[in-house]
Structure 1
Amino acid sequence: MTEPLDLTLDELRLELAPQIALAAMFDGWSDVALASAAEVAGVDPAVARLAFPSKGLQGRAMDMIDAWVASVDERMEAEFADGRLDNMPIREKIRTLVWFRLESIEGLEESLSRAMTVQAMPQNVADTLKQGWSSADKMWRLAGDTATDYNHYTKRAILGSIYAATLAVWKSDDSEDKAATRAFLDRRIEGVMKFEKLKGQFLGKDREHFDVARFLGRLRYPQG
């Protein structure tokens, strides 16, 4: 294990993030949680604060949450770097990746709830969307997606919304083995598969000139 003093500030952010998340169950995403994580890691609190440089309590809270999300991203990428997803159907790849992320933060439902409260603040919404987009992009890349056209954007937007909705269910799910969340995720993925089929039928020969906004508008306001 690399000693804290040998880490760059970016590396230190990722090193501290899981411990900060643990402390956030009791202290919120606060300087107290950061100081607690630094003590556990044997890092000078002043140095730890340098790794989360945003000014103000909410700015630093978003820094810490972003590092937590990034640490889950990193763990996911390391876990599936062996190519085990290659022979799975696409829906199983996505289900596996999403569920791995949920299992990675098991026991931290309170920390997640507090994080989502911070993320929902008006000044943080843009950064929250960026976090979701980045994680969705990493999941699609691990799933083998190489699309560079409109599909690149629609897939990530849709998966980001599925993941966010599933997190919201998961954090309050007290069913055995999170069965309610599993069922919710399966329904959402099945809905996307139907959407993709409908989209393919809708596009026909105009696939290369597909207008996402126009398509969604027609779904919402079908022509008579």
Structure 2
Amino acid sequence: MTSTPKDPKLRLLDAALMHVPFDGWSETTFKAAIADSGVEPTVARAVCPRGAVDLAVAYHRQGDAAMVDALKSENLQDLRFRDRIARAVRLRLKVVTDKELVRRGTTLFALPQYAPDGVKLIWDTCDIIWDTLGDTSDDVNWYTKRATLSGVYSSTVLYWLGDDSEDQARTWEFLNRRIDNVMQIEKLKAQVNNSPTLSKLMAGPNWVLSHIKAPTRFPKGDLPGSWSAPRD
């Protein structure tokens, strides 16, 4: 016997999941979730001002939390860092119990009015992955790591949604290819940095980039970053 969540948003989310494959993350689903969960309509509107959109956001974040729990139980010590990243992305997709819930969410967050929510959710997922794996960067690399992984993650999700291979084997091959592409870019960056001629050409841009800092002065999610003034 499972206990009913006390949090009204979680109660609404649990009730909505069976309706999403048929009606999407829509007002129809939200009204059905209110009726099925027993949450008072005024309370439901208070905790989810945008209705099912807020439930879709909560569903994605619930998946992030499940991924973190799964990732922390893994033994990653013998894995290369690129393989740790791949493992984290795989776990994020494996915690999904119904692809249709993600497919409907992808459709929702593709709409212009909700696209910023979708971008933020992808960024937050990748930020959580890096943080969980122990990333300590506090300069421009903080941004490039998350931006690069966001591209890898989002393209892998789209591939995964259409993958009907056994145990999603083609998706994991696709993921590994995308990470290989990223590693090639990193090798190219290293070659540029090790070239005296190219290093001189990049001196100006590198000086600017060296003063970009990760958002550590403010609560996470508040401001995107900061600029450190050069010292005399």
2:47 — aligned with what?
51
How high is the TM-score relative to the length of structure 2? 0.75
2:26 aligned with 1:30, yes or no?
yes
- Farther off after superposition, 76-85 or 90-99: 76-85
Q: What's the CA shift for 1:82?
A: 4.7
For residues 34 and 111 of structure 2, the distance between their equivalents in structure 1, rounded to whole angstroms, comes to 26
Please say if residues 21 and 68 of structure 1, whose CA atoms lie closer than 8 Å, have aligned partners that are also in contact: no
Query: Cα RMSD (Å) of the superposition?
Result: 2.7
Please say if residues 4 and 42 of structure 1, whose CA atoms lie closer than 8 Å, have aligned partners that are also in contact: no
Distance 1:211 1:18, change over 3 A: farther
Q: Where in structure 2 are the equivalents of 1:53-72 lying within 5 Å?
A: 53-54=49-50, 60-72=51-63
1:110 — aligned with what?
100
Q: What's the CA shift for 1:83?
A: 6.8
Deviations 1:12-39 (A, max 9, x none): 4355435534421112102332344455
For residues 70 and 103 of structure 2, the distance between their equivalents in structure 1, rounded to whole angstroms, comes to 25
Unmatched 5+ stretches in structure 1: 55-59, 213-224
Report the identity percentage: 35
Among 194, 207, 210, the alignment partner of 1:209 is 207
2:171 — aligned with what?
181
Q: Where in structure 2 are the equivalents of 1:118-137 lying within 5 Å?
A: 118-137=108-127
Distance 1:3 1:144, change over 3 A: same
Q: What's the CA shift for 1:184?
A: 0.6
Structure showing greater Rg: 2
Please say if residues 29 and 52 of structure 2, whose CA atoms lie closer than 8 Å, have aligned partners that are also in contact: no
Please say if residues 162 and 188 of structure 1, whose CA atoms lie closer than 8 Å, have aligned partners that are also in contact: yes
Higher RCO, 1 or 2 (CA under 8 Å, sep at least 6)?
Answer: 1
Distance 1:47 1:35, change over 3 A: same
2:52 aligned with 1:98, yes or no?
no
How high is the TM-score relative to the length of structure 1? 0.77
Helix, strand or coil at the partner of 1:53: coil
